Structure 1
């Protein structure tokens, strides 16, 4: 079969299949008979298209699906909520397929529709925009172009092409290694409808998901963990509609799924407004099983523990919560639970992320360059109107928490503060490390050659504004690249930086200039770092000196002997230097 026809079929499948999902959801809520014929036509059309392109498995499954609606119209069959929920459990998976349904898979789908088998929730797979061979050809082509530019001594063009290639590679890496949480969870509303229907409850889902991304290799496990929590909330937490009415609650229960980043960790919360956990019932059940010594908030995570006497297809099997905690703990995190009788329960899953990708705005203020997450911004204003120490925006006043000397732009933050800066460098997708430092929540390492601080807008204040204007640091290193990277990095934090390309020059500068700290390389021609440190200490005994080297045991001992105050390995990230500076230099 022509692959173009198959591509057209699967495109039609995704479009029409999604419309069927939406119509089935509406029918569950309204029972409008007019929808039945429309849903029937969707499955009938897909069946006909599948026959034309030779996809026999799809043809037979669509025939079975359309027959339910045909029999309902003729009065031969009742479309129960449970049957419709089972349909909703399989259709999203079909929409992600790129091949035909096998006989074994067809039997499995039919068993699910007949209630003989339970559907497994699955991650929505994202198709990559390009195939691997196309990517490799593109990279090779750009590499050859760079080489040609260098051979022509066209360095400016070569640098431009290097930047383009770097951006391209970062986009490929992000596309292949990260998944947006919003994409991962986009079919959760269908899952909630399905589970609520099977439990004979009315539940709605609220998604409060930002731009956070997770590593693709973790996506299925994380998805499964959240499915466990949502199913648990529907089965154990949300009360039946009649019971909620008696309690004065809305007929529909609400499950809220939210995400945010804090302190280098990704937080995911699953909260319901149900009955809350019956802690006394948990204690009694725990005592029966010999677990009475544990607090009830811990007992619920014990493998196999359940307060239900019998297991059903949705919950009560004692699986899920321990798997969720195992997922978080395996990544250095944990799961907490907060519950209130009659008000609901909230599970908080959190774990550290080594590097996560978010969109940032890079700005400059008084020569200092830093970034702010777009999620933390409400607006960017040109030539903002200021009144005393406040900025007026849309008839509201916002306190100015940071201002450059001659600002042109104003950032209104989600914490209701205003940051006044000189210029907007640009908007970038940044890979942020979880190394925090004061009002810095992390560092972007893929935009410039040095790490760029990302400001925590909830912590920045007038005190933070002053802390940008710090003391003078002298860097002594014979490598131009090392001096440039460290200098730009430190200037990002407002430090005055002086550079010396030899030990002799460093000694002269430290004699004539009021510097507050020296960073000195060990291996330099002429005077090495140890001799340079020794002579600087003889001239200014109280001036802190940080040895910058590969840090062998022998070098550490030598550094101590000549009076070095701190040590920085060349294999360590530059942001570690900030902590040394903070410790060794008193900040005004």
Structure 2
């Protein structure tokens, strides 16, 4: 066998006290070698490794050993920059295998599983990296990110073994490099810098692009990632010698948080010949803070030394004072090292005690099912719901028409059991369609970061209720409206840091996305603490654009005026930008949400902020429908829209300013005679039934309420839409078609 072994080693190897020349000697023992040194700058044993230290060499090895044996010899430095290539011998058959890979087919089941797992891993990475951004020293979080990259690398390698794809090779390379950096950060206990976490987030975005390109059969150019990978590995944005290691006792960590801010300033000031008054004052105040802190935390030796430094400052030679200050920094570093060792010993002891084989067994409570199968199952449940109603009607017919009451009674008794089973089946299938809204929300931190950077604003995003579940179809449909809302909040709402400072606000703006369940609906709120919406400005813009007259606006409430924002083409921004101001965002929000029976509302307070509220149905599959009669026609009304049902006499209906109203619970309810719009003659004489909306502001007049059913509502084809009041159709058990009225929105 003949191998070419390339050594391209740098600082990371020397930090582990490894001398690569020993590996060259080991290779010589395997067979004949030809060594070519390209660059050699190895630090002395007592020298601190830097980026300048490198070892680059090419070794040609002729041996009777296998590639596995060569790789095993180099195992501990392979990931630091060593490549092994077969030049001659049996394993050169790998090239033939590579040709096969290019032409090979990936098993469909394996490919689908890879795609599903990759989506889950990338989703998990986004969330964990957000947490890591808040705590870049957390060994636990670094471990979690490391495992995700490691799993993705292994999965991708398996797919590549069937067929090499450029996108997958990029994914494999990125995950490998990221894994190496994370392993070093984890093993050293130093953690990651803020910049390194940012780079990892950018790399996950690029992995997402590459994975999408692979899924769509396209080729993505990802050469730009190598600059990011290089920066990730060589990032010099390190904390001073005082490293805030995760897992230190709380008292040591608290002291480090303060001292790590002071020590670099001390060293800078100690390089000066003379100090000005402010610099002298800094020494006095900071030493006083350290003295109080070490006393409170019980570090007596350090407290004593700091007290001596306080007394010495200004009374001894400044250079001597600075030498004593450096000794204090060294003492602090020793304290950290001692405590770190204690923690690690304790962790090892705990590991030995709590060995659990189950940690090494992969179990999952999830079974992956294609979305189309769930959709088909939902359709079957819908048909069964209709059949359930037919059986009930047939039982009544048996008793009424055919005179077999015993059979009818037995059938009705069994129908109750059938209904119960149907309800359970329906709930289970509906739950299968539900996914947590976090699958959508997890992409928003990046959106906020990118927009903030583009607009030169500082914005913090807070997310609540990510575990709230919603129909997958709805989650997908609201993605674009949510992006519009966030974009508007940052562009229109949040002020610049300078403006916020002038207003006495924190320079960092705040956006909160909150999801929660409310009855049979899910509410999603997008709030900001920005400038709010100027209602007067909305009023003036509406007049300028010819949407309303002053007379019309004078009769409108503030809430009604704010609803103008959701009209097509409306924007209060004077100048359009790439982000907003063209009047298309809020129109998209309103039309999309209302398309599937949702509602949009907003509240605003000038200079305080705005909240946009989306009221969404839990599911689009099966809905509870109130069957009502108007004249001789049966209609359906979504039960979630009805707040109350009330019977009234026609004599209770009054006239007020040209409107028909009724007084109920100390409120005036405006009445909607929908039959007049539909051209249907009411058959109710003395009394009518009111369907009152959830806000108790208006009532729809129908002749009577018949019953409540659970059914599948199908959208009405646009060619058959003859009234804005009708949104869909459903089929009853007897085969009759019922139109669904959306009259209470």
Q: TM-score range by the shorter chain?
A: 0.3 to 0.5
More helix by share: 2
Larger radius of gyration: 2
Q: TM-score, normalised by structure 2?
A: 0.37
Q: TM-score, normalised by structure 1?
A: 0.45
